[in-house]
Amino acid sequence: MKFTISRELLLKPLTLVSGAVERRHTLPVLSNVLLEVELDSLKMTGTDLEVELIGFAPLEGEVAAGKTTVPAKKFHDICKGLPDGAIISIDVDGERMIIRSGRSRFALSTLSADDFPNIDNWHSESEFVLPQHILRSVIESTQFSMANQDVRYYLNGMLFETSNDEFKTVATDGHRLALSSRKVNAQLPDKQVIVPRKGVVELLRIIEAIDDPVTVQIGDSHLRANINNAIFTTKLVDGRFPDYQRVLPRGGDKEIITSRLELKAALARASILSNEKFRGVRFNFTTNELKITANNPEQEESQEIVDLNYQYVDLEIGFNVSYVLDALNALKSDDIKLTLGDANSSGLIEASDSSESMYVVMPMRL
């Protein structure tokens, strides 16, 4: 295997695929990146057996086809450390890969490409194309509600749901729930799959807030996204996601419209003196006024008063302030709509002029 390439052309796809590589793995080959040279193209693959990322780079000049694997971090650090505009020459000699650039020379140990695992062939059951910024938006709108290392393993990920011409993402950690949906130009089968946390994080890392299309394919055991010069594949979580429709509050009889930024600022200030472990904050709604109070075990207390249009019976309810702030940060509208029932009912937060994204927060006893 032999080729020459500019630093910039090599570094971008190499950085991309390095994100999937597991540095501390029991299988040494999984710490490596697979390099495959065919005709005028370099294909690079990184995987941890759960997520696989493939990047491509064009080649010019003298090329000798072949494939091998080299330590991903070392290879990436070498390329990153070379100066801008550097030309990199790569040649495989036995069990070593020689990297030359200017007056620099490096020799990396290789492992056989035959030992590198490939995600098995799988069948796509639904496929749709949408702009990258829309896919990025629905994932960003819900990802913070995923559980982290929960024993209910199916919560450590995000639900992707297709139905008719709608694509939805849903995430919950059992205390709050985030849902975001968008219309797509395709008639889609009814399907629900759970993308694991690492798959969500890596997918969000490679999609950009641009209009360029991304093709999403969903099968029984894998999800794949084709983006520009990259192919992302993740295994799916084998489990059943909770019925989120049952969690959405239905009996809320109090609708409050208020300024998102004003409420966010008041909550951020009040939270400074909340209990660092439980993050509980008390909401007291009275006619045209919301009083927010927080205290902590050191007997410190904060109080904020927000003017708003409230014409219902007085209500006192406690929420985890971090969950409410996460929802307010995810929404981009000037005004938000807060739908409440009683002190024991979950609150629903959404934009005042759109139901594309919805956030459910369970109440706290304070």
Give the pLDDT of the chain (366 residues) as one tens digit per residue.
999 999 999 999 999 999 899 877 788 999 999 999 998 999 999 999 999 999 999 999 899 999 999 999 999 999 999 999 999 999 999 999 999 999 999 999 999 999 999 877 778 888 889 999 999 999 999 999 999 999 999 999 999 999 999 999 999 999 999 999 999 888 888 999 999 999 999 999 999 999 999 999 998 899 999 998 899 999 999 999 999 999 999 889 999 999 999 999 999 999 999 999 999 999 999 999 999 999 999 999 999 999 999 999 999 999 999 999 999 999 999 999 999 999 999 999 999 999 999 999 999 998
Q: What is the largest CA-CA distance in the chain?
A: 80
How many residues does the structure list for the chain? 366
Closest by CA to 346, choosing from 250, 245, 271, is: 250
Measured CA to CA, the distance from residue 164 to residue 156 in angstroms comes to 26
What is the identity of the amino acid at 147? A
Write the DSSP symbol of residue 153.
G
Sign, CA dihedral 241-242-243-244, equals negative
β-strand pairing of 104-109 with 96-101: antiparallel
Secondary structure letter of residue 119 according to DSSP: P
pLDDT at 86: 97
Contacts of 235 (CB under 8 A, 6+ apart): 49, 50, 51, 119, 196, 199, 221, 222
Q: Facing residues of 46 across strands?
A: 53
| Whole-number pLDDT of residue 100 | 98
CB burial string 297-321: b at 16+ within 10 A, e below:
eeeeebebebeeebeeeebebbbbb
DSSP state letter for 364:
B
Written as six digits, the tokens of 97 are: 């890969």
Q: What is the pLDDT of residue 123?
A: 85
Q: What pLDDT, on the 0 to 100 scale, is given for residue 153?
A: 95
Fill in the DSSP letter of residue 64: B
Whether the Cβ atoms of residue 182 and residue 137 lie closer than 8 Å to each other: yes
**CA trace torsion 282, 284, 290, 295 (10° rounding):** -30
Q: CA–CA separation, 247 vs 311, rounded Å?
A: 26
Instruction: Write down the pLDDT at residue 122.
Output: 79
Cα–Cα distance, 277 to 285 (Å, whole number): 25
Supply the pLDDT for residue 23.
76
Distance separating the N- and C-terminal Cα atoms of the chain: 66
Complete domains list, the chain, with CATH? 2-115 (3.10.150.10), 124-246 (3.10.150.10), 248-361 (3.10.150.10)
